[in-house]
A and B are shown apart, each in its own frame.
Chain A
Amino acid sequence: MEGILTMLGATSQGLIWGVMVVGLYITFRILDFADLTVDGSLALGGSVSAILIYNGVNPILSLIIATFAGILAGCITGILHIKFKIPGILAGILTMTALYSINIRIMGKANTPLLGKNTIFTVISEWFDGLGANSKMISEIVLGLIVCAVIIAIMYWFFGTEMGYAIRAVGNNKHMVCAMGINVGLMQIIALALSNGLVAFSGALVAQNQGYADINMGVGTLVCGLAAVIIGEAFVKQESNFAVKLIFAVIGSVIYRLIIALALQIGMNPSDLKLFTAIIVAIALGLPKIMKRKEKQQC
């Protein structure tokens, strides 16, 4: 029984963090941009949402405002990269570093507890009251599924629009996009804004779910997200439909959380988790390249 509960818990975590993974998929896979802003914008979303709820704002409204805060953070990274020609990784690091101070400013201290406050999760778990002790867990999973489904549907629509096409092409071939009369820089900024908006939204959900926002809650977001994206990609063909790819990115997020839960259960030290994740990502990114080189040598 305890095992099932752990798995359900990991699933709900995977779904809530899955929104962040969809956001990361946009920058990492579509735009071909490793955006470190996410480490800051996840905590930004959490901080904004937590402080608003703490001050009596409606939890759903706080989610929306947190998303806009993330969009702003993405715009700043985009402007640093496009207008000031700062390399992408560094632009992300700059915004992330700045956000550390900003997040403390927002909360006034390093963390904000939400004890006894209404969050979107407490509201929804009331609907499932009849289910007894597990109502909280079930409400988390239901909410996570709904949120992920809605966001994947919106992304599927968006990347089928003219602007969505342009953004996909930017990650592929900037010359071609420029030749189509499209402002390449603007498309990159829009994609970064969209991505960080989703990441901040996810951060706000995480804070409401765990009952507090913490200045360090975003540390390692990029690497965790990459792990989820890579795990998900192991199950999809290159030719697959875009919506299928996003669904598997979220499934990758769930699997990642299950692996983590398993690792903890067999006695891994929680502080070693980030090392574990980083090694997995390094291997997953590096292995295909090494295999390819071997193939060539054989020829």
Chain B
Amino acid sequence: MLRLQKVSKVFNKNTVNEKVIFDKFDFTIEEGEFVVIIGSNGSGKSTLMNLISGKIIADSGKILIDGIDVSSQLEHIRAKQVGRVFQDPLMGTASNMRIYENLAMARKKGKKFGLKWCISKKDIQEYREMVKSLGLGLENHLNTKVGLLSGGQRQALTLLMATMQKPKILLLDEHTSALDPKTAGIVLDHTEKIIKENNLTTLMITHNMNDAIKLGTRLVMLSGGKIIFDAKGEEKKNLTPEILLRKFSEVEHCI
């Protein structure tokens, strides 16, 4: 479970460029929920993810994961409980290292990186099975350097790596928006499958209204650092892109 309590974040504080992103923001995601977040540019979606992952530290307020306050933990400490897939397919994998080397690191995620040999023959067999489940034909290219893979392949691999050690929270930051529609579809299918199989608590940002309606168990619309719409269950199922766009324009008018 993830809980944000009265979280505030201001960029460029005390300058003419001061920008309040969140002011005493409250938000809770229950265990096993798959929340899709939509919102226009500057609504605070990415900042929200950065606050949760620890890339940005909040000015005030608390962030709790399973009831434990992680607000002051550095990013790499928090990464032990948080899996993240970025928009840019280059961010999640080491391009000069081979596929199995990347997977070997993901397997050790959150553990001590000491002086034990990182990989064994037995592991490689397991990695082959894991990659096979992606259905991209990568299982015969475990020796390939990740830099030679396509964006979609890399993103699928990143997803696999982010979820190999079951994270308490999975953050998906527009992770298919840099891919062509067909590849995006394949990656989204994997996303759904992995989340369902592992019952992962997930937060996903998207700009695609259809995806937002189709995927997830809850839809949240963010604007100006506030939740302006929050739908679950039946209510979410009955949404259409038109309804969402109307809600958007209503709020933008008010501002």
Contact = CB atoms under 8 A, between A and B. Distances in A.
B139 interface: no
Contacts of A161: 114-118
B94 A181 contact: no
Given A162-B118, A181-B77, A184-B76, A175 B105 contact: no
What is the predominant secondary structure among interface residues of chain B facing chain A? loop
Interface in A138-170: 157-158, 160-166, 168-169
Nearest to B109: A180
A219 B5 CA distance: 57
Interface residues of A, number: 27
Contact of B108 (A160, A162, A184): A162
Nearest to B144: A239
Contacts of B96: 168, 171-172
B237 interface: no
Given A160-B119, A161-B115, A162-B116, A181 B91 contact: no
Interface residues of B, number: 35
Interface string B95-118: 111000110111011111111111
A162 B86 CA distance: 24
Interface in A201-253: 238-239
B84 interface: yes
A175 B119 contact: no
Interface of A is mostly: helix
Contacts of B94: 168-169, 172-173, 176-177
A179 B113 contact: no
A154 B93 CA distance: 26
Interface in A102-140: none
Contact of A172 (B97, B113, B114, B115): B97
A257 B38 CA distance: 62
B76 A183 contact: yes
Contacts of A259: none
B92 interface: yes
A86 interface: no
Interface of B: 75-77, 79-80, 83-84, 86, 90-97, 101-102, 104-106, 108-119, 145, 162
Given A160-B117, A163-B115, 7 more contacts: A157-B117, A161-B115, A162-B113, A169-B105, A172-B96, A178-B76, A180-B79
